Structure 1
Amino acid sequence: MNYHNNGIKESAEVTPTSSATDTHLALDSIPAPKETFFLAIQHVCAAYAGIIAPPLIIGKALDLPLAYLTILLSTSILASGAVTLLQTIGIPGIGVKLPLVEGVSFSTIAPMLIIGQMSPDPFTAMQIIMGSVIISSVFMFFGASLYARLLNFFPPLVLGSVVTVIGLTLIPVSIEWMQGQESTPFYQSPYIISLSFFTFMITIMAVRYGPKFVKRVSVLLGITTGTLIAIPMGLVDFSEAMTQDLFVLPHFLAFGMPKFEITSIISMTIVMWVIMIEATCNIMAIGEIVGKDIKKQDVINCLRADCLGSIFSAVLNGFQCSAYGQNIGIIQISRVYSRYVVAVAGLLLVILGMFPLLSAMIASIPLPVLGGACLAVFGLVVATGIQTLSSVDLTSEQGTVNSLIIAASITMGMVPLVAPQFYTHFPHWVSIIFGSGITSSAITAIRLNLILNEAPKIHRIRH
């Protein structure tokens, strides 16, 4: 691929590659219905735990009644599906038309917990959260064009470093899942960890030795096999799922009318900036995989969809939506780049959001099984970052500088992961921005690339 202006690619056409010569693998192709359904289920399984985790954490921290916690979870699932459809199918000026799965951003958890601590009751907290999400999303919707100018600052050196950090940030999540839940007697048991590794082996063996269709749904095969084995082990409990309603309509403003507080809005606007950086890295990484040259307008369309989806989510009592890095690995491992497969995954999420019983059934999949399958998926995200860095000069004198930039950006990206409390005593805005390893890595790589690579070039031109 030819880069222009420090990383912006000149064309918006889909470039055929050796991995995209099969029409079933292409970005705009539509696989057979049965294949599409199973591939979409695979994306849902990879993203599902991430989608429900933030509302579950925030809802329990706010001590919401069970009925309202259920609304929060259903809303998050439904909104994630709706924004996934918007991103993959797109409308004029909104949606990037890439295989992006959307979900609730983890970057929102910390400021929302602070809002909860400062509020007199959980319902007031939710009203303030909704108001801050709406205003910050509106602000960023109209600011997307200005932000997109930053695309010049994402050459392969920066993008590869950040994508590597995305993968390294995700891998500990899968390892945590492999150990099970702390509240259960099976936590860290050799049996469930063995189950995780068995699921992992099933997944990678299917990729290596399975027929074409099995290769594509290898993650789903691993999850299904692991769950079936987990049933006689007593790790699967559908009793709570069976108590859920079969069908519910969306609840608009279930917590009451939004409230607008300036400090919360400012805090959430900073979070939206973090989300936009993360989304930019994700769409550029997927663009690399599927062979689509990402232009400024693509970034603008993607961010507008995120912001519009976040407004919709807030009205439905939900939180900010953002592109998920988890599904980059699914695209790599299945080698199916069709955006329509992910659109079907979005449709399934919408359905799950309105059918709590079905949603709860998927939530009953044991974490160790998901952890084992996702260990392979998340590891491929790291491989994608390394592949991007392979095009960067690392051997010449200039390559030594590039290597130092990569080292520094990955190190800064690992700080929040290795030491989550590292920025506790810094100002609140610092902990919000640099508490995200992805944002820390991106800011470090961009600044060092400007100082060490671009500034000397400008100096030489002027003199």
Structure 2
Amino acid sequence: MSVKVLEANEKVEAVHQKLEYKSLFLLGVQHVAAMCAGAIAVPMILGESLGLGQNEINILVSATLMMAGIGTFIQTLNIHDRVGAKLPIVEGVSFAGVSALVAVGLSYRGTDPIFGLQVMFGATILSGIFAFLVAPVFGKLLKYFPPLVSGVVVTSMGLSLIPVALRWVAGAPKSSNYLSVNNIVLALITIAIILTIQKLSKGFLGNIAILLGIFLGTLIAIPMGLADFSTLQNAGIFTINTPLQFGVPKFELTAVLSLFLVQLVIMTDATGNQINLSDICSVNPDQKTIVAGLRGHGLTSMLAGMFNSFPHSLFGQNVGIAAITGVKSRYVGTAAGIILLITSFFPKVIAILTSIPSPVLGGAGIIMFGIVAANGIKRLGTVSYDRNKNLVIVATSLGMALAPIATPQLFTNFPQWGKILFQSPVTLGTLTVLILNIVFNEFDRK
């Protein structure tokens, strides 16, 4: 079975082609299954750090999925020519802001965790405005992102995500099956299922190999005793996320400045991801498209703070999905956005998604995140290494990017702004390769 394109005009770019509804639904579900665990993890971590009750955490999770759906609409649909990249982007709450948001929440909570939450939302709103306004500045930096630079950035992204997948394979540190052999076996089974489908099917089944791997892996986890759906019983039937459920956001200078730095990290990450996704979709990542995408992230973050959520960005795992499937239509992202929005209304569906065993997600993640890194390596393969210092630039930049991956505590004694910037492998690798490329290549040309 192949993905049938409904557009009669063959000249329509692949990124703008409309697919059959059945194909859109299954491909959209695959994107949601791939990103859901990561998206849900952030509000759960932040809620637990503040000591919120389960009801409050459920509100944050619902809000996160709703805003992921809305943010995905902004990026994939033609809402405005200057807002949204019009690529198969799937938005979600960014992990880049977790440590800073935890620090903000704990600093301002006092005896009232809700006050800490209000400060976090206030900082998120202003950081979204900041990202929206400075997006054109990032667009002007695009000329400094030749394949040498963008290749290092994308490779750094993949390398930074692979440890996340491996942690999923290991399981929750406090669980009884942490680091168990069964976890590793289940992850390997999931990988084998995905690779087998990729080998045997060149058509539509190959495009949804990740989804089938997650589904079949979860079924296999049940007799292995690694699947727990107990939360499904206590989940409600219907919920709706309304703005300012926790009260009016509060604006504190220190918190706002911290989130400004977080947005710079997010925008650096998003720029690299967008360049990678543009390459996968055979679209020229010009300045206008990059700026429109960054404005989309800013607008989504701005709305997120009003609707009980946190800074959003393009999810790297979904770039990996696009690379694996080869499906370039932005409407696949729109389908994922619709599914995320509808899911946010039904707690039982959220409970099912959060019950997917982490080793299953880890097995799928190893492939998805590895594809991201492989795309970066592929781009670096187009770079000339003769009679220049490009090999040294790549070696140094990737070495710097690996520093916070290998030793997460390396920057513990840095000031807060330093920890926010340098604890991100993508930011550290990007800053290094940008500076070295300018010093060794741009200066020499002039």
TM-score, structure 2 length as denominator?
0.95
| Deviates further, 202-211 or 447-456 | 202-211
Distance across 2 between alignment mates of 1:262 and 1:184: 39
Mapping for residues 373-384 of structure 1, pairs under 5 Å = 373-384=364-375
Aligned to 2:288: 297
1:88 maps to amino acid: T
| Deviates further, 39-48 or 249-258 | 249-258
Aligned to 1:397: 387
1:164 to 133, 151, 155: 155
Identify if the C-alpha distance between structure 1 residues 302 and 201 changes in structure 2 by more than 3 Å, giving closer, same or farther.
same
**Residues 37, 353 of structure 2: 8 Å contact kept:** no
Which string of whole-angstrom CA distances, capped at 9 and with x for unpartnered residues, describes residues 129-187 of structure 1? 11111112112212212231111111110000110111111111111111222232222
Aligned to 2:117: 126
Which string of whole-angstrom CA distances, capped at 9 and with x for unpartnered residues, describes residues 179-208 of structure 1? 222232222221221111011011011111
Aligned to 1:385: 376
The answer to whether the aligner puts 1:457 opposite 2:431 as a matched pair is: no
Deviation at 1:336, TM superposition (A): 0.8
Distance across 1 between alignment mates of 2:337 and 2:248: 28
Aligned to 1:13: none
Aligned to 2:45: 57
Deviation at 1:211, TM superposition (A): 4.7
The answer to whether the aligner puts 1:37 opposite 2:28 as a matched pair is: no
Aligned to 2:181: 190
Aligned to 1:106: 95
Distance across 2 between alignment mates of 1:90 and 1:111: 33
1:271 maps to amino acid: V
SS at match of 1:397: coil
Distance across 2 between alignment mates of 1:271 and 1:366: 30
Which string of whole-angstrom CA distances, capped at 9 and with x for unpartnered residues, describes residues 282-324 of structure 1? 0000111111001111111111111111111111111001011
Identify if the C-alpha distance between structure 1 residues 254 and 155 changes in structure 2 by more than 3 Å, giving closer, same or farther.
same
The answer to whether the aligner puts 1:264 opposite 2:255 as a matched pair is: yes
Which string of whole-angstrom CA distances, capped at 9 and with x for unpartnered residues, describes residues 310-357 of structure 1? 111111111001011111111111111111011100110111111111
SS at match of 1:103: strand
Deviation at 1:242, TM superposition (A): 2.4
**Residues 92, 313 of structure 2: 8 Å contact kept:** yes
Aligned to 1:340: 331
Distance across 2 between alignment mates of 1:49 and 1:41: 13
Q: Unaligned regions of 5+ residues in structure 2, if any?
A: 1-9
Sequence identity percentage: 39
1:35 maps to amino acid: S
Aligned to 2:341: 350
Mapping for residues 414-425 of structure 1, pairs under 5 Å = 414-425=402-413
Deviation at 1:233, TM superposition (A): 1.7
Mapping for residues 308-347 of structure 1, pairs under 5 Å = 308-347=299-338
Aligned to 1:81: 69
**Residues 71, 251 of structure 1: 8 Å contact kept:** no
**Residues 179, 192 of structure 1: 8 Å contact kept:** yes
Identify if the C-alpha distance between structure 1 residues 223 and 24 changes in structure 2 by more than 3 Å, giving closer, same or farther.
farther
Distance across 2 between alignment mates of 1:23 and 1:99: 19
1:379 maps to amino acid: G
Aligned to 2:399: 411
Mapping for residues 172-251 of structure 1, pairs under 5 Å = 172-251=163-242
| Deviates further, 425-434 or 444-453 | 425-434
**Residues 25, 337 of structure 1: 8 Å contact kept:** no
TM-score, structure 1 length as denominator?
0.91
SS at match of 1:354: coil
Aligned to 1:5: none
Deviation at 1:25, TM superposition (A): 9.5
Distance across 1 between alignment mates of 2:352 and 2:198: 26
Identify if the C-alpha distance between structure 1 residues 168 and 25 changes in structure 2 by more than 3 Å, giving closer, same or farther.
farther
**Residues 69, 337 of structure 2: 8 Å contact kept:** yes
Distance across 2 between alignment mates of 1:454 and 1:78: 44
Between Structure 1 and Structure 2, how many residues are aligned? 435
Distance across 1 between alignment mates of 2:175 and 2:258: 36
Distance across 2 between alignment mates of 1:278 and 1:184: 32
**Residues 24, 31 of structure 1: 8 Å contact kept:** no
Distance across 2 between alignment mates of 1:128 and 1:185: 36
| Deviates further, 155-164 or 145-154 | 145-154
Which string of whole-angstrom CA distances, capped at 9 and with x for unpartnered residues, describes residues 238-276 of structure 1? 221221112111132111111111111111111111111
1:70 to 29, 54, 58: 58
